[in-house]
Amino acid sequence: MYLAFRRYRDEQLSTKERAKLYQELLQEKESLFALHPTFAERIKAVEMLPRAHNPDPRPALQLFEQPEEIEKKLTDFLTEHMARR
């Protein structure tokens, strides 16, 4: 999903369109019914994190020795958590 959005953003949008999209995302309003923080809240939350000097270009799942097992455990955890609600 993220790769598809990145490709759309980078390959199908002009620089001007990307800037407009970024501004629209920053101006997103909070909602009482939102399940996730707004884009601006997410940006603010990560601003304090240190920048990587040598960023690793690999997908995050490749950083794990057994990504399928981790994915299964997370899926099971979230499914159980949501079932309790």
| Residue whose pair of structure tokens reads 């690999």 in the numeric block | 58
pLDDT at 60: 81
Whole-number Å distance between alpha carbons of 51 and 38: 22
pLDDT value at residue 37? 92
Structural Rg of the chain based on CA atoms: 17
* pLDDT tens per residue across span 32-82: 888 889 999 999 999 989 988 888 888 887 888 888 898 899 889 989 988
- Domain parsing of the chain, residue ranges: 1-29
The pLDDT assigned to 55 comes to 83
pLDDT(85) > 80? no
> What integer pLDDT is reported at residue 26 of this predicted model?
92
Per-residue model confidence (pLDDT) at position 7:
85
